[in-house]
Chain A
Amino acid sequence: MRPHLPWFSKNGLALSAAAVLSAGLVAACSSSSSSSTAATSASTSASSSPSTKAPIVIGASLSLTGDFSADGQAFERGYQLWASDVNAHGGLLGRQVTLKILNDNSSPTQVQTNYETLFAQDKVDLAFGPFSSLLTTPSASVAARYGFALVEGAGGAPSVFESPANMSDHNVFDVSLPIEDEMLPFVSWIASMPASQRPKTAAYPMADDPFADPPVQLAQQQLQALGVKTVYSKIFPAEVASYKPAADQVAATGAQVVVLGSTDVPTVAAFIQAFQQQHYNPKMFICAAGPDQGAAFTSAVGKPNATGMMVPNGWYPGYANAASQAMVQAYVTKYGGSPSDVNADVAEGYSVGQVMAQAVTATGGTDNAKIISYLHSGVTLSSVQGPVKFDSLGKNSAAAAFTFQWQDNGTTFKQVLPVSAAGSVAIINPKPNWTS
């Protein structure tokens, strides 16, 4: 006799209970999250006069936890610094700026949920982008559906600009330097040397990441054309058991130049450690990322070892730009430390705010469609990272690429390339040997 499936009724009842429960849960979720705000209001102290107009609410999703949390938190500080500065000066169009920042835990599904919440529920007026090229594409899709401009500073990989949403709606704007061009000043500097003085050999280890690889690969092509022989060029997985084997291979080649496609400090630190153990001292060592992280970098590798390390960037704490200096001072006042400790992510976040502010002021409001056409109109804007002018894909074509180097025994971070650019100091070449 076949069991008469009491479990069927149990499952059936359970299914309906489940559905009712979850519908209630979902409805409760969405209605209650509008009342509780995870907002970080950026209106400051007594200096700001209470505004009678409604505040401008700007929403953003950032990686405050998870894989990208170190950068995400630095970005948050950049956004917040900008907002408090703007409010201290009377706000935008006389309205105070309120930031609403949600954590996406470095997860794409959470990023999408966050932006849906920000646009449809919290009804933010404007949107800032998330951190990293990996999270920008889903955010751009959501923003495109809602007709929002997405101004961001950390999604510079070609994949972001070529994403279908951007190709169709052109709503992504990256205020920072497009990454492929990063190594150009370095290459030009080598090209400027007489052929006999140029380095003979170069190694190109790269982490498998859309941010790190394009600039290094481009540099490899160009340096090869200049007669610099490639003795090592490999991509290693971003998560690897140990960087030692790759680093040891580079050391074994004895290359005079190392162009490391790194995305973070630990990669650089691991390579330096392996090089030290192998008693290998490259004459020039430039990394895609890592040395630009201020104190996080020097404390990981040690100040003396930081000397001579180079990194391309669109910004550094000593940048001779009034707004930039003011921002650095404000940061140090608020968070402590010294100017060299300021992470480039802070400047990127701050620049996003500045660009948006100029667009809002110029269009006289928060109409996203107008802002998008304004930003694509070829106008040149200013930011703490220098001039900003967007091409049709949303890349910043006016961004100047600079190269920076740690000097003075790892205590100062100076602009060294292009040699002729204003503010460049003498470059240390060759890089001093490692000290223990």
Chain B
Amino acid sequence: MKADTVKAEEATARTRAASVSRQRVVAGLALIVLAVAAIEFPLVFSSPVVTNYAIYALIFVAAVSAWNLFSGFSGYISLGHAVFFGSGAYTVGIAARDWHINGVAVFALLPLAAAVGAVIAVPFGLVALRVRRHTFIVITIAVFFIFQLMAYNFSFTGGSVGVSAPFLPWSPTSFNDHFYYITLACAAGTIVIAFLIRRARFGLQLRAIRDDEDRARGLGVHAMRVKLSAFVLSGTITALVGGVWFLYLTQVQPPSGFDPLFDLSLVLMAFLGGLGTIAGPVLGALIIEPGQLYLTIKYTNGYLSEILLGVLFLVIVLFVPRGLVPTAGEWIRRLRTRGRPASGTVSPATSAPPAPPEASEAPAREARTT
């Protein structure tokens, strides 16, 4: 009797392992196809108009993934990431201006932008991460405004005029193609980093903090250290992306570098895709950024586009509250397990690994519902 049960369990486990590795092969293949497609993209769609959309989309893929790396994983919603974005942009601009750097050499300034992002993130994080929830959100907003205003007030930032990027004398197509590959690299790199963090203990610690920080602390998680590390990493990447954006747009000014609506866009994109997932922010950015640019061109008259945008957000939040990726995952799983009995024959000791947190959104604790 016992032997039979053990054999049955082993068989189930083998089937499950086989199906999981099959999934992994399929997914791996899909990723390879994706990578090839991404690299071939500008060659297929060579019009600068198309690559322009792609570049802005990729800039936001990187920015949202970086934001999600911190806010999505830890649950601390930051509305101050524009601080890093703008600081990265200004760093590249000011360095290029003061050190008289022209031509392709400006790209060498990007690591400097990232470093500045890291340097700003440390005190910013130390101050802000001591408080929670709404207070945290408002502190990030306050620091954001402080930075925007400093950009206006200091003369080394160019005041209200801002800073211009050195002129790169490339043809429209090659200019866009260069930036396409740079932004693609940034986006891919950020996704990989997010993926690695998720797998690591670090990611687990972040998620523990998101679920219940006090309990996590009680279990030995150094909350401040973990939060701060994620925050600094997130800020560093965002600053780098800001530098790239600056070189592409060729200009940064206080209201564009430190745009109050930038962070809300990040929240929306991450949310649309699925907060805390890897693919979610990517999907959200790829849909919303080009979509927004395109809709403004298409519905160019009147304020209709603004109203439509608001309605769209409402629809997204009210009808896809968990984000597209988890919701799609749910559907796929439902489709695949349709008709199959629940796995009641398996004993708890060898039961399937628990469904990942982002798929089962059951809150770990009582949540406010008004």
Query: Which residues of A does B touch, CB under 8 Å?
Result: 1, 3-23, 25-27, 29-30, 33, 36, 38, 64-65, 101-105, 107-110, 112-114, 116-117, 119-121, 134, 137-138, 141-142, 144-146, 157, 159, 162-165, 167-169, 208-210, 213, 237-238
Contact = CB atoms under 8 A, between A and B. Distances in A.
Contacts of A29: 50, 53, 290, 294
Given A30-B49, A33-B298, A138-B250, A18 B286 contact: yes
Interface string B283-295: 1001100110110
Nearest to B30: A16
B253 interface: yes
Contacts of B286: 18-19, 21-22, 25
A17 B293 CA distance: 21
For the complex of A and B, the 3 pairs showing the least CB-CB separation, nearest first, are A12-B27, A14-B279, A22-B286
Nearest to B27: A12
Interface string B29-45: 01101100110010001
A306 to B, nearest CB: 28
Contacts of A110: 293, 296
Tell me what chain A mostly uses at the interface: helix, strand, loop, or mixed: helix
Chain B, interface size category, equals 35 or more
Contact of A210 (B28, B161, B300): B161
Contacts of B303: 65
A231 to B, nearest CB: 23
A116 B290 contact: no
A113 B53 contact: yes
Contact of A113 (B56, B280, B299): B56
B164 A159 contact: yes
B13 to A, nearest CB: 10
B221 to A, nearest CB: 19
Given A109-B293, A144-B167, A26 B54 contact: yes
B267 interface: no
Contact of B301 (A38, A167, A169): A38
A15 B164 contact: no
Interface in B2-47: 17, 20, 23-24, 26-28, 30-31, 33-34, 37-38, 41, 45, 47
B107 interface: no
Contacts, number: 221
Nearest to B45: A27
Contact of A15 (B34, B171, B290, B297): B34
B297 A9 contact: no
Given A12-B30, A137-B250, A238-B160, 20 more contacts: A4-B353, A7-B278, A10-B359, A11-B277, A12-B279, A13-B30, A15-B34, A22-B57, A30-B49, A102-B296, A104-B296, A120-B172, A134-B253, A138-B250, A141-B249, A164-B250, A208-B159, A209-B160, A210-B160, A238-B152
Contact of B251 (A15, A17, A108): A108
Contacts of B53: 26, 29-30, 113
Contacts of B249: 108-109, 112, 138, 141
A33 B295 CA distance: 10
9 contacts: A5-B24, A7-B278, A16-B33, A17-B328, A22-B290, A30-B45, A116-B48, A138-B249, A210-B159
A169 B54 CA distance: 27
B279 A33 contact: no
B38 to A, nearest CB: 6
Nearest to A39: B300
B45 A168 contact: no
B125 interface: no
B35 to A, nearest CB: 9
A15 B30 contact: yes
A13 B27 contact: yes
A15 B152 contact: no
Contacts of A36: 298
A8 B191 CA distance: 12
A26 B277 contact: no
Contact of A116 (B41, B49, B306): B49
